[in-house]
Chains A and B, each alone.
Chain A
């Protein structure tokens, strides 16, 4: 089926079978590779993108369900106030190790800070629970979200 996909502020005409996960359209068709494949079952969060501003797992979001939505990926976060603050905090604290999960971590963290400008450690743990990091950078992710909140507050 032909679909008009609104992604990062542009409309892309894509051809995909119904049931195709948004993840594979983003990665294989649009060649935006910042969004990662980790598990395929919405259990790790590496594929997190924003749908109308809210984090969703693109491996379990199907192409036929996103036609009227605005999709945003990690590649657009520099232009987003909250996204840029999270990226700055991640750089200050050197949150990343292998880095493969970090696009998803950042997309989810932006979703959290949009909802809750000053999350507690417990609120961060609750919201970020589904984003796995096999390098176990969690302590810096927690600190990074709190640092980003401070950057945004200033």
Chain B
């Protein structure tokens, strides 16, 4: 095969024009092409005359892998190797870069990055391929059907030339409405276990730029002295001692009075100055209850008639069935407030350009949130606000507040200045732990009745806790007939077929600001469902795996759930644990994916329990980057188990008692000795992977502990360490 004779001619004209092929969407959201960055189009892929491709990533990269994953989709369809393509983060544009599952809103959440981008990014890559091929076919006078792009070269019928040679001509063509997607049999990259993360190199040599690393000329650092009690406001403050801190600039109460903004020349000066400021708080409207009072209220709600009958069951009939059952199991569970505590404390930097634009540098999980908020704060149209999306050092939900809390803080701190100096807002770990948005405290009470054969004949399930969605912009989407689905997801939509189940929900009084936390409602619903399944299996005298399988009989999603359960059991050697080891199992569907986990422990509760191994099986549809899938399951397990072991946020007189990692102790390297993940081969479209590893992890551990100790009360309230479990 030889390079086509006309290649030089193309190179000349293309390079001279700085030509490029951009495939993206125009303002109407319709797939479109352009030949330069000036076009009114935001691309998903850019291809240069040098044959290099760049994927535009519309989702935040905080470790879950979209930078590599979405680039893989483009590369596969286009026909380039992973070495011939790179990525950039997309700007804020809710029309083009919206999450297709969120409406006109750009954001990452609900483990949807791959699921919503799967067809969109493949279509963009495929359209680019077809246009480049058409341009080459025209130039060479051959049938386009005889050509393909292989490793970045347009190839076929004895011709071969860099795809970069055809970008100028391709950009003049119509974008195919339905480009041919490569058949799975052609895939070289999707599902390829050899693909490495594209963001690894910069993350091992210190070059990765997180928002915390932004350092603009002449910037000020702002830290906020916040109310210790949620809802308190600044009555007055005294900054006289701060004036002795070198680098202190000024202090001003935020317009919301939720804190005092302290401006300084650098981060350390801001920390010192903030410590020196005395604030008088008006706590008349603030939360003043303690965690014990809040818990009492939740537990009392579980014994009252629920506000909402979620599944419209005849509860009286269910209760009667349970009351008349041969065996009745009753268990009450409590889950505390939890902080997200991403490694990178919250921060963002805001500046005004010479042209009057406002630019936000942010590890933005939901760019549309601050984009809309800033239109109000700065009274500017959307096109005068830019968001520079950067790497984020973790989130677990925290960077996606419906009220764009920290970006609004930065905006307010900036608007109180003359805007001549950029403002970098920095939170420290104490801010993060004390002033957070928390996984709500939740209680469950479940009564299960079994007949004399050990079959479930009634399951009365009551849930009470503070709603996450009510009162936010997401209420219309997530709350129906008063029911916040995020509090009961994982029960209301469980693939188990449980005869005679009633599900009630009561919202309890607002205690603090609450928020989705990696896997949202599944953090507690999976726990309760799976611990109860184990208790019922034990009461029935049946094996926990066999018992669960007898309720996974509906076909479809029940089959997929059963398949991961069986695979995890098989791979873990279920029932054949080494001497001195005890196993526990749990399985759960969340975010469209199915995960089963077996936790194997050793030791005892007197000398200490050791987590020896976790074996996971996952069905997340097509695993685009299998190693990323494994990594997310590993991380999801660690996140779930670490918090269940020993973390909680408690309030004393309305103020958060914890402050930093010493009293909100993260999972440590020695806590789990080994994790093994098995992926079910699938032809289904990809579903979530960032969150689904978390829900089954804590109940699988709980079930192992209950099996070891024969004491299920040890695992009824979290964290386990607080309830009497001793981890070595």
Residues in A lying within 8 Å of B, measured CB to CB: 17, 20-21, 24, 27-29, 31-41, 43-44, 46, 73-75, 77-78, 87, 90-91, 94-103, 106, 121, 124-126, 128-129, 131-142
Contact = CB atoms under 8 A, between A and B. Distances in A.
A121 B673 contact: yes
Interface string B190-215: 00000011011111111111101101
A103 to B, nearest CB: 5
Interface string B227-269: 0000000000000000000100000000000000000001110
Nearest to B628: A94
18 contacts: A27-B267, A33-B206, A33-B212, A33-B215, A36-B212, A37-B267, A44-B666, A91-B196, A94-B631, A100-B393, A100-B394, A101-B343, A102-B204, A128-B669, A135-B638, A136-B642, A136-B667, A138-B667
A40 B668 CA distance: 18
Contacts of B342: 98, 100, 134
A141 B669 contact: yes
B438 interface: no
A56 B613 CA distance: 31
Nearest to A75: B206
Given A38-B429, A126-B670, A135-B635, A98 B268 contact: no
A106 B635 CA distance: 18
Interface string B50-90: 00000000000011110000000000000000000000000
Of listed A39, A95, A101, residue having the most chain B CB within 10 A:
A39
- The main secondary structure of chain A at its interface with chain B is loop
A81 to B, nearest CB: 15
Given A38-B345, A38-B429, A75-B205, A98 B631 contact: no
A91 B200 CA distance: 6
Contacts of B673: 121
Given A96-B203, A140-B631, A41 B660 contact: yes
Interface in B609-638: 627-628, 631-632, 634-635, 637-638
Interface residues of B, number: 61
A102 B202 CA distance: 10
Given A21-B268, A40-B429, A125 B345 contact: no
Contacts of B267: 24, 27-28, 37
A100 to B, nearest CB: 3
B660 A90 contact: no
A132 B666 contact: yes
Task: Determine chain B's interface SS by DSSP, over half rule.
Answer: loop
A27 B246 CA distance: 18
Contacts of A96: 63, 197, 199-200, 203-204
A103 B206 contact: yes
Contact of A90 (B200, B209, B674): B200
Contact of A34 (B206, B345, B392, B642): B206
A50 to B, nearest CB: 13
A20 B204 contact: no
A24 B634 contact: no
Contacts of B635: 97, 135-137
Nearest to B627: A94
B64 A134 contact: no
Contacts of B344: 36, 38, 98, 100
B661 A136 contact: no
B200 A134 contact: no
Contacts of B668: 129, 132, 138
Nearest to B673: A121
Nearest to A125: B670
A24 B268 contact: yes
B396 interface: yes
Nearest to A31: B215
A99 B428 CA distance: 18
A96 B208 CA distance: 12
A134 B246 contact: no
B341 interface: yes
A74 B661 contact: no
A75 B202 CA distance: 10
B595 interface: no
B63 A17 contact: no
B343 A44 contact: yes
A131 B632 CA distance: 19
Given A41-B662, A96-B203, A101-B343, A134 B394 contact: yes
A32 to B, nearest CB: 7
Identify the 8 closest CB pairs spanning chains A and B, nearest first.
A34-B206, A136-B638, A100-B393, A97-B63, A99-B203, A98-B63, A74-B206, A33-B213
A40 B274 CA distance: 15
Nearest to B429: A39
Contacts of B208: 34, 99
A44 B661 contact: yes
Given A90-B200, A91-B200, A98-B344, A43 B394 contact: no
Interface in B402-436: 428-429
A41 B661 contact: yes
A77 B206 CA distance: 9
A10 to B, nearest CB: 16
A95 B196 CA distance: 10
A129 B670 contact: yes
A39 B639 CA distance: 18
A43 B441 CA distance: 26
B343 A46 contact: yes
A87 B206 CA distance: 11
Contacts of B669: 124-125, 128-129, 131, 133, 138, 141-142
Contacts of A43: 660-662
Contacts of B529: none
Given A39-B429, A135-B63, A141-B669, A98 B343 contact: yes
